[in-house]
Protein backbone atom coordinates (compact mmCIF):
# COMPACT_ATOMS: atom_id res chain seq x y z
CA UNK A 1 0.00 0.00 0.00
CA UNK A 2 1.06 3.57 -0.57
CA UNK A 3 0.94 6.21 2.15
CA UNK A 4 -2.56 7.43 1.29
CA UNK A 5 -3.91 3.88 1.35
CA UNK A 6 -2.25 3.28 4.72
CA UNK A 7 -3.89 6.41 6.12
CA UNK A 8 -7.26 5.39 4.65
CA UNK A 9 -6.98 1.97 6.32
CA UNK A 10 -5.99 3.67 9.59
CA UNK A 11 -9.05 5.90 9.35
CA UNK A 12 -11.37 2.97 8.63
CA UNK A 13 -10.15 1.37 11.86
CA UNK A 14 -11.52 4.21 13.93
CA UNK A 15 -14.41 6.53 14.68
CA UNK A 16 -15.00 10.16 15.54
CA UNK A 17 -16.34 11.63 18.77
CA UNK A 18 -17.15 15.25 19.55
CA UNK A 19 -15.22 16.42 22.62
CA UNK A 20 -15.49 20.04 23.77
CA UNK A 21 -16.89 20.94 20.36
CA UNK A 22 -13.98 19.34 18.50
CA UNK A 23 -14.12 16.35 16.16
CA UNK A 24 -11.75 13.80 17.66
CA UNK A 25 -10.53 10.65 15.90
CA UNK A 26 -9.87 7.46 17.83
CA UNK A 27 -8.90 3.92 16.91
CA UNK A 28 -11.21 1.27 18.33
CA UNK A 29 -10.88 -2.50 18.32
CA UNK A 30 -11.50 -5.59 20.38
CA UNK A 31 -14.50 -7.05 22.21
CA UNK A 32 -17.41 -4.91 23.33
CA UNK A 33 -17.30 -6.13 26.94
CA UNK A 34 -14.58 -5.46 29.46
CA UNK A 35 -12.58 -2.55 30.79
CA UNK A 36 -11.06 -0.75 27.80
CA UNK A 37 -7.40 -0.01 27.24
CA UNK A 38 -7.19 3.74 26.57
CA UNK A 39 -3.94 4.82 24.92
CA UNK A 40 -2.49 8.32 24.70
CA UNK A 41 0.34 9.42 22.44
CA UNK A 42 3.12 11.98 22.54
CA UNK A 43 4.68 14.15 19.86
CA UNK A 44 5.00 14.32 16.93
CA UNK A 45 2.70 11.30 16.85
CA UNK A 46 -0.95 10.24 16.90
CA UNK A 47 -2.88 7.01 17.43
CA UNK A 48 -1.03 5.78 14.31
CA UNK A 49 1.88 5.12 16.69
CA UNK A 50 -0.07 2.16 18.16
CA UNK A 51 -1.05 0.57 14.84
CA UNK A 52 1.21 -2.48 15.41
CA UNK A 53 0.09 -3.01 19.00
CA UNK A 54 -3.66 -2.54 18.69
CA UNK A 55 -4.40 -5.82 16.84
CA UNK A 56 -2.46 -7.75 19.52
CA UNK A 57 -4.00 -6.00 22.51
CA UNK A 58 -7.48 -6.20 21.02
CA UNK A 59 -7.45 -10.01 20.99
CA UNK A 60 -8.44 -9.91 24.67
CA UNK A 61 -9.40 -6.32 25.49
CA UNK A 62 -11.39 -3.41 24.12
CA UNK A 63 -8.91 -0.81 22.85
CA UNK A 64 -9.39 2.93 22.34
CA UNK A 65 -6.48 5.06 21.09
CA UNK A 66 -7.29 8.71 20.48
CA UNK A 67 -5.65 11.48 18.51
CA UNK A 68 -5.24 14.47 20.82
CA UNK A 69 -6.80 17.66 19.55
CA UNK A 70 -4.28 19.25 17.23
CA UNK A 71 -2.83 15.94 16.05
CA UNK A 72 -3.41 13.18 13.52
CA UNK A 73 -6.95 13.09 12.17
CA UNK A 74 -8.49 15.18 14.96
CA UNK A 75 -9.46 18.85 14.68
CA UNK A 76 -6.58 21.31 15.02
CA UNK A 77 -7.94 24.53 16.51
CA UNK A 78 -5.66 27.56 16.40
CA UNK A 79 -7.47 29.30 19.28
CA UNK A 80 -6.92 26.60 21.95
CA UNK A 81 -4.13 26.34 24.47
CA UNK A 82 -1.88 23.32 24.05
CA UNK A 83 -0.34 22.05 27.27
CA UNK A 84 -0.53 19.41 29.97
CA UNK A 85 -3.50 20.90 31.89
CA UNK A 86 -5.51 21.24 28.68
CA UNK A 87 -4.71 17.69 27.55
CA UNK A 88 -5.55 16.30 30.99
CA UNK A 89 -8.96 17.98 30.85
CA UNK A 90 -9.42 16.66 27.30
CA UNK A 91 -8.70 13.08 28.41
CA UNK A 92 -11.41 13.26 31.06
CA UNK A 93 -13.91 14.67 28.57
CA UNK A 94 -12.95 12.00 26.02
CA UNK A 95 -13.63 9.22 28.53
CA UNK A 96 -16.95 10.83 29.45
CA UNK A 97 -17.97 11.13 25.81
CA UNK A 98 -17.28 7.42 25.22
CA UNK A 99 -19.04 6.46 28.45
CA UNK A 100 -15.89 4.91 29.90
CA UNK A 101 -16.20 4.77 33.68
CA UNK A 102 -12.99 2.84 34.29
CA UNK A 103 -9.99 2.24 32.05
CA UNK A 104 -6.57 0.67 31.76
CA UNK A 105 -4.62 3.83 30.92
CA UNK A 106 -1.53 3.50 28.72
CA UNK A 107 0.69 6.52 28.08
CA UNK A 108 3.91 7.45 26.33
CA UNK A 109 6.17 10.46 25.78
CA UNK A 110 4.31 13.78 26.13
CA UNK A 111 1.19 11.72 26.77
CA UNK A 112 2.75 10.62 30.04
CA UNK A 113 2.49 13.68 32.31
CA UNK A 114 -1.13 14.57 31.55
CA UNK A 115 -2.29 10.93 31.61
CA UNK A 116 -0.55 10.41 34.95
CA UNK A 117 -2.02 13.70 36.10
CA UNK A 118 -5.50 12.50 35.24
CA UNK A 119 -4.85 9.15 36.94
CA UNK A 120 -3.66 10.57 40.26
CA UNK A 121 -6.61 12.97 40.40
CA UNK A 122 -9.19 10.38 39.32
CA UNK A 123 -7.97 7.03 40.72
CA UNK A 124 -11.48 5.55 40.80
CA UNK A 125 -11.51 5.70 37.00
CA UNK A 126 -8.21 3.82 36.71
CA UNK A 127 -8.04 0.02 36.67
CA UNK A 128 -4.31 0.01 35.87
CA UNK A 129 -1.75 2.48 34.58
CA UNK A 130 1.03 1.69 32.11
CA UNK A 131 3.82 4.26 31.78
CA UNK A 132 6.12 4.00 28.76
CA UNK A 133 9.24 6.12 28.06
CA UNK A 134 8.18 9.45 29.45
CA UNK A 135 9.24 11.56 32.39
CA UNK A 136 8.17 13.96 35.11
CA UNK A 137 11.73 14.10 36.51
CA UNK A 138 13.63 16.96 34.93
CA UNK A 139 16.97 15.99 36.48
CA UNK A 140 17.18 12.74 34.51
CA UNK A 141 15.53 14.00 31.31
CA UNK A 142 17.72 14.81 28.32
CA UNK A 143 15.72 17.19 26.20
CA UNK A 144 15.94 16.32 22.48
CA UNK A 145 17.93 18.91 20.56
CA UNK A 146 15.11 19.28 18.03
CA UNK A 147 12.64 20.05 20.82
CA UNK A 148 15.01 22.54 22.45
CA UNK A 149 15.51 24.29 19.13
CA UNK A 150 11.73 24.53 18.67
CA UNK A 151 11.32 26.04 22.15
CA UNK A 152 14.02 28.65 21.59
CA UNK A 153 13.17 29.58 17.99
CA UNK A 154 10.71 32.50 17.73
CA UNK A 155 7.45 31.49 16.11
CA UNK A 156 7.87 33.87 13.17
CA UNK A 157 11.09 32.08 12.21
CA UNK A 158 9.28 28.73 12.15
CA UNK A 159 7.17 30.14 9.32
CA UNK A 160 10.28 30.38 7.16
CA UNK A 161 10.72 26.59 7.16
CA UNK A 162 8.43 24.72 4.71
CA UNK A 163 6.25 22.01 6.25
CA UNK A 164 7.81 19.31 4.08
CA UNK A 165 11.35 20.21 5.11
CA UNK A 166 10.37 20.42 8.78
CA UNK A 167 8.65 17.02 8.67
CA UNK A 168 11.51 15.32 6.86
CA UNK A 169 13.96 16.77 9.38
CA UNK A 170 11.80 15.40 12.21
CA UNK A 171 11.73 11.94 10.65
CA UNK A 172 15.49 12.01 10.12
CA UNK A 173 15.94 12.91 13.80
CA UNK A 174 13.62 10.08 14.89
CA UNK A 175 15.55 7.57 12.78
CA UNK A 176 18.89 8.76 14.18
CA UNK A 177 17.94 9.18 17.83
CA UNK A 178 14.62 7.59 18.83
CA UNK A 179 14.57 4.13 17.22
CA UNK A 180 16.73 1.10 17.90
CA UNK A 181 15.70 -0.19 14.47
CA UNK A 182 15.18 2.65 11.96
CA UNK A 183 13.57 0.22 9.50
CA UNK A 184 10.65 -0.07 11.94
CA UNK A 185 9.32 3.21 10.52
CA UNK A 186 10.28 3.35 6.87
CA UNK A 187 8.95 3.40 3.31
CA UNK A 188 5.29 4.20 2.82
CA UNK A 189 4.58 3.95 6.56
CA UNK A 190 7.10 6.74 7.15
CA UNK A 191 5.39 8.83 4.48
CA UNK A 192 2.04 8.20 6.17
CA UNK A 193 3.54 9.35 9.47
CA UNK A 194 4.78 12.57 7.84
CA UNK A 195 1.36 13.24 6.32
CA UNK A 196 -0.43 12.69 9.64
CA UNK A 197 2.08 14.88 11.47
CA UNK A 198 1.69 17.91 9.18
CA UNK A 199 -1.80 17.77 7.64
CA UNK A 200 -4.27 20.57 8.35
CA UNK A 201 -1.75 22.65 10.28
CA UNK A 202 -0.57 19.85 12.56
CA UNK A 203 2.93 21.26 12.61
CA UNK A 204 1.69 24.38 14.43
CA UNK A 205 -0.13 22.30 17.03
CA UNK A 206 3.17 20.53 17.63
CA UNK A 207 5.08 23.79 18.01
CA UNK A 208 2.49 25.24 20.40
CA UNK A 209 2.66 22.07 22.50
CA UNK A 210 6.46 22.19 22.63
CA UNK A 211 6.50 25.86 23.62
CA UNK A 212 4.10 25.10 26.50
CA UNK A 213 6.94 23.18 28.20
CA UNK A 214 8.34 26.52 29.36
CA UNK A 215 5.59 26.76 31.99
CA UNK A 216 5.21 23.06 32.81
CA UNK A 217 7.42 22.78 35.90
CA UNK A 218 4.70 23.49 38.53
CA UNK A 219 2.41 20.95 36.86
CA UNK A 220 5.10 18.27 36.91
CA UNK A 221 6.04 19.05 40.51
CA UNK A 222 2.44 18.54 41.67
CA UNK A 223 2.17 15.22 39.80
CA UNK A 224 5.29 13.95 41.56
CA UNK A 225 3.76 14.76 44.95
CA UNK A 226 0.40 13.17 44.10
CA UNK A 227 1.98 10.08 42.55
CA UNK A 228 3.45 9.11 45.92
CA UNK A 229 -0.11 8.42 47.13
CA UNK A 230 -1.30 6.66 43.97
CA UNK A 231 -2.05 2.99 44.65
CA UNK A 232 -3.48 1.59 41.42
CA UNK A 233 -1.46 -1.24 39.80
CA UNK A 234 1.17 0.43 37.60
CA UNK A 235 3.43 -1.05 34.94
CA UNK A 236 6.57 0.88 34.04
CA UNK A 237 7.49 -0.46 30.61
CA UNK A 238 10.67 0.95 29.09
CA UNK A 239 12.83 0.83 26.00
CA UNK A 240 16.37 0.50 27.38
CA UNK A 241 18.13 2.54 24.68
CA UNK A 242 16.09 5.73 24.97
CA UNK A 243 18.52 8.70 24.79
CA UNK A 244 15.93 11.23 26.05
CA UNK A 245 14.18 9.34 28.86
CA UNK A 246 16.88 6.81 29.81
CA UNK A 247 16.25 4.01 32.31
CA UNK A 248 16.97 6.15 35.41
CA UNK A 249 13.59 7.77 34.70
CA UNK A 250 11.94 4.35 34.84
CA UNK A 251 13.68 3.56 38.14
CA UNK A 252 12.46 6.83 39.63
CA UNK A 253 8.87 5.99 38.66
CA UNK A 254 9.28 2.53 40.16
CA UNK A 255 10.56 3.93 43.47
CA UNK A 256 7.87 6.59 43.62
CA UNK A 257 4.81 4.46 42.79
CA UNK A 258 4.17 2.03 45.64
CA UNK A 259 2.21 -0.56 43.63
CA UNK A 260 4.41 -0.71 40.54
CA UNK A 261 6.27 -3.23 38.42
CA UNK A 262 9.25 -2.37 36.21
CA UNK A 263 10.02 -4.11 32.93
CA UNK A 264 12.84 -3.06 30.57
CA UNK A 265 12.84 -4.07 26.88
CA UNK A 266 16.40 -4.54 25.61
CA UNK A 267 15.47 -4.32 21.93
CA UNK A 268 13.79 -0.92 22.06
CA UNK A 269 14.57 2.77 22.25
CA UNK A 270 12.18 5.69 22.82
CA UNK A 271 9.46 4.46 20.46
CA UNK A 272 9.08 0.92 21.78
CA UNK A 273 5.74 0.76 19.89
CA UNK A 274 7.81 0.71 16.70
CA UNK A 275 10.89 -1.22 17.87
CA UNK A 276 9.18 -3.97 19.89
CA UNK A 277 5.38 -3.89 19.44
CA UNK A 278 4.84 -7.61 20.06
CA UNK A 279 6.96 -7.70 23.21
CA UNK A 280 5.45 -4.48 24.54
CA UNK A 281 1.91 -5.76 23.92
CA UNK A 282 2.64 -9.11 25.55
CA UNK A 283 3.98 -7.41 28.66
CA UNK A 284 0.94 -5.14 28.93
CA UNK A 285 -1.51 -8.04 28.56
CA UNK A 286 0.34 -10.15 31.13
CA UNK A 287 0.42 -7.27 33.59
CA UNK A 288 -3.26 -6.37 33.19
CA UNK A 289 -4.45 -9.96 33.42
CA UNK A 290 -2.32 -10.55 36.52
CA UNK A 291 -3.29 -7.27 38.20
CA UNK A 292 -7.04 -7.48 37.59
CA UNK A 293 -7.93 -11.19 37.39
CA UNK A 294 -11.55 -11.76 36.42
CA UNK A 295 -12.09 -8.02 35.83
CA UNK A 296 -10.45 -7.42 32.48
pLDDT digits (tens, 9 = 90+) for 236-270: 999 999 999 999 999 999 999 999 999 999 999 99
- Write down the mean pLDDT value for the chain: 93
pLDDT in tens, 75-124: 999 889 999 999 999 999 999 999 999 999 999 999 999 999 999 999 99
Task: Please check the confidence at residue 160 and state whether its pLDDT lies above 80.
Answer: no
β-bridge partners, 39 = 65, 106
Residue 52 lies in a domain: yes
Residue 113 lies in a domain: yes
Q: Determine, yes or no, domain membership for 181.
A: yes
118: CATH = 3.40.50.1820
Of the pLDDT bands very low, low, confident and very high (cuts 50, 70, 90), residue 289 is: very high
Residue 71 lies in a domain: yes
| 193 is a domain residue | yes
What Rg value do the Cα atoms of the chain yield, rounded? 18
What phi, psi does 54 have (nearest 5°)? -55, -45
Residues sharing a CB contact under 8 Å with residue 75, sequence separation 6 or more, in sequence order: 22, 23, 24, 69
- Who contacts 279 (Cβ-Cβ below 8 Å, separation ≥6)? 265, 267, 268
Q: How far apart are CA 245 and CA 144, in angstroms?
A: 10
| Predicted local distance difference test score (pLDDT) of residue 11 | 97
The mean per-residue pLDDT over the stretch 212-229 comes to: 93
Cα distances (angstroms) measured from residue 270 to each of 59, 72, 136, 229, 275: 25, 20, 15, 27, 9
Contacts of 72 (CB under 8 A, 6+ apart): 25, 45, 46, 47, 48, 196, 202
Model confidence at 138: pLDDT above 80: yes
What residue numbers bound the domain in which 197 lies?
3-291
Q: Place 296 in a pLDDT band, splitting at 50, 70 and 90.
A: very low
Please tell me the total number of residues recorded for the chain in this structure.
296
Query: Is residue 237 a part of any domain in this protein?
Result: yes
Count up the domains in the chain and report the number: 1
In a domain, 296, yes or no: no
Q: Pick the more confident residue, 145 or 30.
A: 30
Indicate whether 115 belongs to any domain. Answer: yes
Q: Are 182 and 206 in contact (CB under 8 A)?
A: no
- The C-alpha atoms of residue 276 and residue 272 are separated, in whole angstroms, by 5
Alpha-carbon span 146 to 169, nearest angstrom:
9
Give the predicted TM-score (pTM) of the model.
0.94
DSSP-assigned letters across all residues of 11-63: HHTEEEEEETTEEEEEEEES-SSSPPEEE---TT--GGGGTTTHHHHTTTS-E
Confidence band for 22, pLDDT divided at 50, 70 and 90: very high
Question: What is the rounded end-to-end Cα distance, in angstroms, of the chain?
Answer: 35
pLDDT for residue 294: 54
pLDDT tens digits, 165-202: 888 888 999 999 999 999 999 999 999 999 999 888 88
Amino acid sequence: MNAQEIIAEHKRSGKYAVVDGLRIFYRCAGPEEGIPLVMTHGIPRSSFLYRKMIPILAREHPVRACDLFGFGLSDKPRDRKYGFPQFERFLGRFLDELGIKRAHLICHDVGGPFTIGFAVRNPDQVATLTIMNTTIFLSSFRIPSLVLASILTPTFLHHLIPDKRYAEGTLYFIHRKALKNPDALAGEEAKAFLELATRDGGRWSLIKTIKSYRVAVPYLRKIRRDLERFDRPTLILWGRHDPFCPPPNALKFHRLVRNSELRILDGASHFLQEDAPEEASRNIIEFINHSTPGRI
